[in-house]
Amino acid sequence: MRSVAIGLLVCVGVQGSLGPAGVSGRGGDVLAAEPVRPERQFTPEERTNIAVYEAVNRSVVNLNTRGAVAAGLFLVEVPSEGAGSGIVLDQRGHLLTNYHVVENAREIDVLLFDGSSHPATVVGFDPATDTAVLKVAAPPELLHPVTFGSSADLRVGQRVFAIGNPFGLERTLTTGIISSLNRSLPTRSGRAIKSIIQTDAAINPGNSGGPLLDSEARLIGMNTAIASRTGQSSGVGFAIPVSTLARVVPQLTAQGKVIRPDAGIARVYQADAGLLVAALVPDGPAARAGIRGFRVTKERRRQGPFVSEVTRIDREGADLVVAVGGQPVRTVDDFLSAVETKSPGENVLFTVRREGRQLDIPVVLGSEG
């Protein structure tokens, strides 16, 4: 049987009537007041948890999407539904989330902290970083922007906080530590996101697109994936660092896409010491700077009454790229990461090995996207 408290006064006698605390009843018995409990004391860790949640929980939204996906050989569209989290960027209605949360969505509903639901549209997206910016039609007073922090000085072992909507449970807080840094996370675009934050904070389906925070309630990353065979938290979660978000989000908000710098190198082969340039974009930045690729020549040969054309490829004169802007490159991913930290129009030194010599060749980057 459940006991229910019905008052603050405790009767210590068997006769008399209830009266004010500490006052004798008709039977002479004294009624004693229950002592006032002191205000609950929280540990420093609990106070930090509470402060982070109270500062940011209104900045987290619940996203519900509806769309259609192709099924079968005849590309029949079947209804699909999804859920995820989002982060309020400003009071104009811009929200940040993962691209995979809203990919192929025809309708997006945003549930705010007060329980109100509002439609949203996609402003821009970038599959290479699994990032999307939405805009919600909601009153400004209901939008509480998150505060951006820094991911440049993060340390393994640092305490972090994740807020999201796992399994549709709105604004759920989980805590943990940074368990590793500088992970690489592949995306469906074929590129890998660099400098990924690994955390053991519980991240489950529905957390994607939610914030990863430091102990001062500042955004340091966006939760994006978990490593699990079951799809549920297994102690390894990943977040896109805020340094990447700070570079991508302004472009998505302003122009709907990310315009990346382009070196004008079309194809390379990976070698032990760097990347061997195979082909250049005609009249592209690298070609104009004098970087050399494979030399392709064509010869015509006569065999009796027939004339054939033979293509010869000379690899001996091709440049081997070993560094971009002073950053060593050994893989294509290294190369793309080094180039994408620059801006279109920027003059960048490409360090190459050519015929036994090492040269620094300035390349004025173009743009793609």
Residue 21 φ then ψ, to 5°:
-60, 135
Q: Is 65 exposed, middle or buried (0-12, 13-18, 19+ CB in 10 A)?
A: buried
Annotated catalytic residue, options 59, 85, 94, 130 = 130
Task: Kindly state the helix (H) or strand (E) to which residue 336 belongs, with its residue range.
Answer: helix 332-340
CA angle 30, 31, 32 (to 5 degrees): 110
CA 314 to chain centre: 43
What's the 3-state SS for 21-41?
CCCECCCCCEEEECCCCCCCC
Annotated catalytic residue, options 59, 94, 100, 126 = 100
Residue 84 φ then ψ, to 5°:
-165, -165
CA angle 272, 276, 277 (to 5 degrees): 165
153 is catalytic: no
208 is catalytic: yes
130 is catalytic: yes
Whole-angstrom CA distances from 309 to 140, 299, 302, 303 are 69, 6, 9, 11
**3-state helix, strand and coil shares in percent for the chain, rounded to the nearest 5:** 15, 45, 40
Annotated catalytic residue, options 85, 151, 179, 208 = 208
Are 16 and 32 in contact by the 8 Å Cβ rule? The answer is no
**What is the pairing mode between strands 172-186 and 159-164?**
antiparallel
CA separation for the pair 299, 309 (Å, rounded): 6
By annotation, the residues acting in catalysis are: 100, 130, 208
